Structure 1
Amino acid sequence: MERRERLRMIMVKLEAEGQLEKLLKAHEDEEAATSVAAGEGDGEGPQESPFFTEGSRELLEARVNIGRYSIVKAALRLERARRRRDDPDEDLDAEMDSALKLLQTSSLVLDCSEIGDDRPLSGCSFSRDGKLLATSALSGVAKLWSMPQVNKVTALKGHTEHATDIAFSPVHSHIATASADRTARLWNTEGYVLRTFEGHLDRLARLAFHPSGKYLGTASFDKTWRLWDVEIGVELLLQEGHSRSVYGICFHRDGSLVASCGLDALVRVWDLRTGRSILALEGHVKPVLGISFSPDGYHLASGSEDNTCRIWDLRKKKSLYIIPAHSNLISQVKFEPQEGYFLATASYDMTAKVWSARDFRPVKTLSGHEGKVTSLDIVGEGQYIATVAHDRTIKLWSSRSAKENDMAVD
């Protein structure tokens, strides 16, 4: 709609200047000449040639690396799925029942609550080993906290505007932050800036690491998402496709796909190996703010301002479930990262909720925040869930098994 409106205004201006008719006539002549040339070339009439923009050498190398990485990861995932399906000693339903029952029997309790900043918190992320928690705040400062005591370790200072999101690398002990100052930054755990990623024309929203740890995806209000090489700090890909601001981004565990969502109420799935948009998932009626791929490889969850969470089946290319999850907008969604037995949602109704990944029924409500819950993250198979909110607090929810393990270590 915005593009059509801009085109209409341009045509009105050209017509007022008396240039419109000349331009249209020149365009018609050019199309006619092109059609004749195409018809003479192959004898089959006019044909449209695809339009390509040549990418950089770094992008070509990245796509080759991503292709190799994803083939191995996909093969391992499928082999594991086949083995578990065919093994008579494996009972997937029983394993899921056991995991969900543990959550239902009041085992997921508030273990710790800590003031995280002087301003509202915007994002949180666990390190790969679960020993550190990173948070970002509207003050522009990100912080690292030790687990499970939630003691401050260090502060990451450098952004000049709000810090909008934070993510730990899945491979290295590096942290990436996004900011309204239009940049993303890469940090080490000592608080030093390793890279600054500049190029977006408007404030950033969410970001995510590729599962290989080599690439970083950033979503922005400039209606694009971009892919960066973490090691050399260059922009590999600037991707358009949304008509409004892009808010969320998430990588498939195999590394072959990336999903983006935005204020145009659309979820798009992209093939990183080719750069093509392979799916456009329509159904939400308001902006989509959170997305998450399931570890099973074919489910995708999206949370929206329409207060619903949708579960998409990538194989069937459609929505399987619509969860009327909250009484206010959903700010973040996350599948449990190990097996995908459950899904967690965060909302501006001041709660986070846990849902069964089998039938997407409610399992647990995490109540305790006094402000809008902006983000959450999960470590392991649900041993800990961290939530952050506008009430400036970090809340750590732990399962009984996690507390028992901590007591055993002590």
Structure 2
Amino acid sequence: MDMILDDKTLDDNVESFFSHDSGDPRDKVGLSTDVTKGFKFSEIRVLPASTSKVECCHFSSNGKLLATGGHDKKVTLWSTESFTVNSALEEHSQWITDVRFSPSMLRLATSSADRTVRVWDADNAGHSLRTFTGHSASVMSVDFHPTKEDLLCSCDGNNEMRYWSIKNDSCAGVVKNAMKMRFQPRHGRLLAAMAENLVYILDVETQVGKLELQGHKSPINSVCWDPSGEFLASVSDDLVRVWKISSASKGHCIRELNHSGNRFNTCVFHPTHPSLLIIGCYQTLELWDMAENKTMTIQAHAQKVSALAVSSDNALVATASHDMVVKLWK
């Protein structure tokens, strides 16, 4: 595959909101940061999400609910308006690995080390609607298709990916060589799946691979799409790469960031600033302005930042951590 390092910004119309001084581009800052011209990133709430490690979090499509889960074997639904617990989902027998809301309705899916995937009604979460079995190892990720309400996907620790029909309560297909994945937003024509140090871009309709994104030397920890579905970020311990995914079956690396001593773990695009990537590390967040190729480090948690989530409706950012709390930022 033809790999290109391009100097163009992700969005030529987005001004840099990081400072333009000649200081160290990796400045340590406090919990509240005025970067420039009104851009602010502040911790606004701490949620005591668990009695053990928190591994995952995700906002509902309207931003009114936040789901968190981890090693206490349950998923907690929080109101982002009152910051109180709406309900707790407690049918899994092992720790929760991933949680995702449906983009089109108030359903959510949960995956677990108990090798199952469950689907819930967020408005009536007393019992799960569906339980999918068939994985031979811990299910490591789960995701809803953005437009096909019936289609769900999950991956396990044996690098097996399964498509599920919610309506038929059955497996609709099996693909090998994927441990974690995310559907492309909006149209969902593509799916980004990762295994070891590679990212595979699959055609959802045919379940056939279209691209193989190379460049990471270490195993990839996570991937995330930007809201447009045109850009994909991939994160390994020592490297973050941002790719432009074209409709002509091409993937170009347009940005990359090497770590400076703190391991990268997860990432998400900022909900209102498209050229800002938020990267979760051990105890800290890296705010990477890709337009200016500058980063700032924010002290965020007492342990590893295990997951990130954003809501475009209320511009909230959630950070989950092994320190047993989830923080909300804005």
**Equivalent residue, structure 1, for 2:4:** none
Letter of the 2:95 counterpart: H
CA distance in 2 between partners of 1:382 and 1:153 (Å):
18
Letter of the 1:335 counterpart: F
Cα shift at 1:359: 4.6
- Say which SS state the counterpart of residue 122 (structure 1) adopts: strand
Question: RMSD between aligned alpha carbons?
Answer: 2.3
Say if 1:99 and 1:131 are closer, same or farther in 2 by CA, change over 3 A. farther
Cα shift at 1:273: 1.7
Say if 1:273 and 1:314 are closer, same or farther in 2 by CA, change over 3 A. same
> Could you tell me whether the CA contact under 8 Å between 1:296 and 1:340 is conserved in 2?
no
Does 2:153 align with 1:221? no
Does 2:211 align with 1:279? yes
CA distance in 1 between partners of 2:43 and 2:106 (Å):
27
The 5 Å alignment of 1:244-393 reads: 246-253=178-185, 254-262=187-195, 264-305=196-237, 307-315=238-246, 316-325=250-259, 327-336=261-270, 340-347=274-281, 349-362=282-295, 364-380=296-312, 383-393=315-325
Aligned counterpart for 1:155 among listed residues 73, 84, 88? 88
**What TM-score, normalized to structure 2?**
0.83
Cα shift at 1:185: 0.5
> Could you tell me whether the CA contact under 8 Å between 1:295 and 1:338 is conserved in 2?
no
Say if 1:120 and 1:217 are closer, same or farther in 2 by CA, change over 3 A. same
Letter of the 2:321 counterpart: A
Letter of the 1:373 counterpart: V
Does 2:140 align with 1:208? no
CA distance in 2 between partners of 1:260 and 1:302 (Å):
10
Is the helix fraction higher in 1 or 2? 1
Say if 1:157 and 1:229 are closer, same or farther in 2 by CA, change over 3 A. same
Cα shift at 1:234: 1.4
The 5 Å alignment of 1:10-409 reads: 93-94=12-13, 96-97=14-15, 104-105=35-36, 107-189=40-122, 190-191=124-125, 192-212=127-147, 213-240=149-176, 242=177, 246-253=178-185, 254-262=187-195, 264-305=196-237, 307-315=238-246, 316-325=250-259, 327-336=261-270, 340-347=274-281, 349-362=282-295, 364-380=296-312, 383-398=315-330
Letter of the 1:217 counterpart: C
- Return 5+ residue gaps in structure 2 as ranges: 1-10, 20-32
Cα shift at 1:286: 1.1
Cα shift at 1:382: 7.3
CA distance in 2 between partners of 1:291 and 1:193 (Å):
27
Say if 1:382 and 1:360 are closer, same or farther in 2 by CA, change over 3 A. farther
> Could you tell me whether the CA contact under 8 Å between 1:227 and 1:238 is conserved in 2?
yes
> Could you tell me whether the CA contact under 8 Å between 1:303 and 1:331 is conserved in 2?
yes
CA distance in 2 between partners of 1:93 and 1:133 (Å):
32
Structure exhibiting the larger radius of gyration computed from Cα positions: 1
CA distance in 1 between partners of 2:189 and 2:273 (Å):
19
Give aligned pairs, total: 298
CA distance in 1 between partners of 2:293 and 2:99 (Å):
28
Letter of the 1:181 counterpart: D
**Equivalent residue, structure 2, for 1:404:** none
Cα shift at 1:335: 2.2
> Could you tell me whether the CA contact under 8 Å between 1:299 and 1:313 is conserved in 2?
yes
- Return 5+ residue gaps in structure 1 as ranges: 1-91, 399-410
Say if 1:150 and 1:271 are closer, same or farther in 2 by CA, change over 3 A. same
